[in-house]
Amino acid sequence: MESLPLWAQAGLVAILLLLSGFFSISETSMMAINRHRLKHLARKGAVGAKTTQGLLARTEDLLGAVLIGNNVINTLIPVLTTSIAVHTFGGDNVVLSITTGVIAFLIIVFAEITPKIVGATYPEKIALPASLIIAPLMRVLRPLIWFVNLFASAILRILHINPRDANNVRMSSEELRSIVMESGSFMPHKHRSILLNLFELENITVDDVMVPRPRIEALDLSAPLDQILQQLETCYHNKLLVYEGDIDRVLGVLHVRKTLAALRHHEELDRETLRELLSEPYFVPTGTAVFQQLQFFQENRQRIGLIVNEYGEVQGLVTPEDIIEELIGEFTTSMPRSANTRAGWNAHGECIVAGAMPLRELNRWLELKLPVDGPKTLNGLILETLQEIPEGDVALQIGECRLEVMQIDNQAIKTVKLFKPAAPARGRS
């Protein structure tokens, strides 16, 4: 080294600092890169993506190669700079101390902190090209890496640590939910909303999405025949629940279009003909998980499920469409709302809805935040809040929404006027 000019020795130190920085930036970028994004890039054929995947599949060898190279270089730098200082200024202890401090500062700033910050900030841009250099270096250093990892593996076994266990860690639904919520501008709002609704399905049952009993469109077979025919011709749905006298006495499900087509070949309508056209009802116990019910619909090839309690009483009706609407929002128009509510909020920020309307549907339709962890309908929520049946017009506040009871029928709230919550004030910049 003494035969080299001073500028060459200083240049060698600079090169070693750059090499040390390369190993530091490679290590950090490799560890910080998103594995799912890397898998996507590998499928697209991005340069260096498959090589990076291969390196990360052998984390022990990768870290061994990077740390060996980094530490060897960081050891050579002080030795070289000390030799330069002794040759230039002599063996003065003050000079050697200053030289040690300066080189330590250079290593920390230029070979450790700065490269690692850059590597953590741009892992994808750095890890992929760096892998093309690290991969052949690992092949060259394979014997040395094996020897060093031999001791490291022995220490890990003593500590009962298995590095492969980290690969078996599964993300929880809450962690996935957080990732979706933080996706920001990387994902369209509609897509993000659907994914969040999908996670929400894990926490709800058929009771949350069903059409409640008072809103079920059903056919009473004990009614006069002309009334039955009129209902068949004007009903909103293609399949009707058929009962006799009481809706808890379910006879079956009637396919309306097939029924009307069959009646053309009969001179007159009779109840026995209708009974022959009925299909077996499909019952679902209350509290059934929505995901489980959706699977049951697929397996049993059913389109309508009747929700019944432990006493066999009909509580509501659920269809695959009701579940899908929880994911993508309302899309069916088979049962239109009243003329007053079809357009949502009016110009005065008011909306009149039925008391039997499900809260989840109401929140989704009017973008409200009424609580859904208790009663399932607006009527039930108001009664729970008041803890009594109102005798006349009553105004109340639930959360951010103001409500006014308009009409009561048979001890139940029939219609309610909602007032649109005020938009939150934006802070001034």
Residue 206 near residue 307 (C-beta atoms within 8 A) = yes
Q: What band does 166 get if pLDDT is binned at 50, 70 and 90? A: low
Question: What is the per-residue pLDDT for 113?
Answer: 93
Q: How many residues does the chain have?
A: 429
* 90: exposed, middle or buried (Cβ count in 10 Å: 0-12, 13-18, 19+): exposed
Question: What is the per-residue pLDDT for 343?
Answer: 59
Asked if pLDDT for residue 106 goes beyond 80, the answer is yes
Same domain, 237 and 357: no
* 134: exposed, middle or buried (Cβ count in 10 Å: 0-12, 13-18, 19+): buried
Across the range 135-149, mean pLDDT stands at 89
Nearest to 22 by CA among 66, 60, 55, 75: 66
Asked if pLDDT for residue 114 goes beyond 90, the answer is yes
Instruction: Tell me how far apart the alpha carbons of residues 76 and 81 are, in angstroms, rounded to a whole number.
Output: 9
Instruction: Tell me how far apart the alpha carbons of residues 41 and 53 are, in angstroms, rounded to a whole number.
Output: 10
Question: What is the per-residue pLDDT for 307?
Answer: 93
Across the range 68-93, mean pLDDT stands at 84
Across the range 223-244, mean pLDDT stands at 87
Across the range 102-115, mean pLDDT stands at 90
Digit-coded pLDDT (tens) for 256-315: 888 887 777 665 667 888 888 899 998 999 989 888 898 888 888 888 999 999 888 999
Number of compact structural domains in the chain:
4
Q: What is the DSSP string of 37-78?
A: HHHHHHHHT-TTHHHHHHHHHTHHHHHHHHHHHHHHHHHHHH
Nearest to 331 by CA among 361, 291, 374: 361
Cite the DSSP H helix spans in 166-205.
173-181, 189-200
Same domain, 223 and 128: no
Across the range 199-216, mean pLDDT stands at 84
Question: What is the per-residue pLDDT for 26?
Answer: 93
Q: What band does 429 get if pLDDT is binned at 50, 70 and 90? A: very low
Same domain, 229 and 375: no
Nearest to 220 by CA among 233, 212, 229: 229
Question: What is the per-residue pLDDT for 330?
Answer: 64
334 inside domain: no
Across the range 365-381, mean pLDDT stands at 86
Q: What band does 133 get if pLDDT is binned at 50, 70 and 90? A: very high
Instruction: Tell me how far apart the alpha carbons of residues 95 and 101 are, in angstroms, rounded to a whole number.
Output: 10
Asked if pLDDT for residue 191 goes beyond 70, the answer is yes
Across the range 396-425, mean pLDDT stands at 85
Nearest to 282 by CA among 239, 311, 228: 239
Across the range 250-257, mean pLDDT stands at 90
Same domain, 37 and 47: yes
Asked if pLDDT for residue 390 goes beyond 90, the answer is no
Residue with more model confidence, 48 or 91: 48
Question: What is the per-residue pLDDT for 184?
Answer: 65
Across the range 326-330, mean pLDDT stands at 74
Same domain, 152 and 275: no
Residue with more model confidence, 389 or 184: 389
Same domain, 157 and 240: no
Q: What band does 332 get if pLDDT is binned at 50, 70 and 90? A: low
Share of the chain above pLDDT 90, in %: 22
Same domain, 175 and 255: no
One-letter amino acid of 236: Y
At 351, give phi and psi (nearest 5°): -155, 135
264 inside domain: yes
Q: What average pLDDT does the structure give for the chain?
A: 83
Same domain, 179 and 145: no
Nearest to 315 by CA among 323, 327, 326, 307: 307
345 inside domain: no
Same domain, 28 and 161: yes
Full domain range(s) for residue 245: 204-328
36 inside domain: yes
Question: What is the per-residue pLDDT for 159?
Answer: 86
Residue with more model confidence, 172 or 102: 102
425 inside domain: no
Among residues 155, 179, 202, which one ends one of the domains? 202
Same domain, 317 and 209: yes
Nearest to 377 by CA among 205, 214, 200: 214
Question: What is the per-residue pLDDT for 349?
Answer: 87
Across the range 148-158, mean pLDDT stands at 86
Same domain, 153 and 29: yes
Asked if pLDDT for residue 338 goes beyond 50, the answer is no
Asked if pLDDT for residue 239 goes beyond 70, the answer is yes
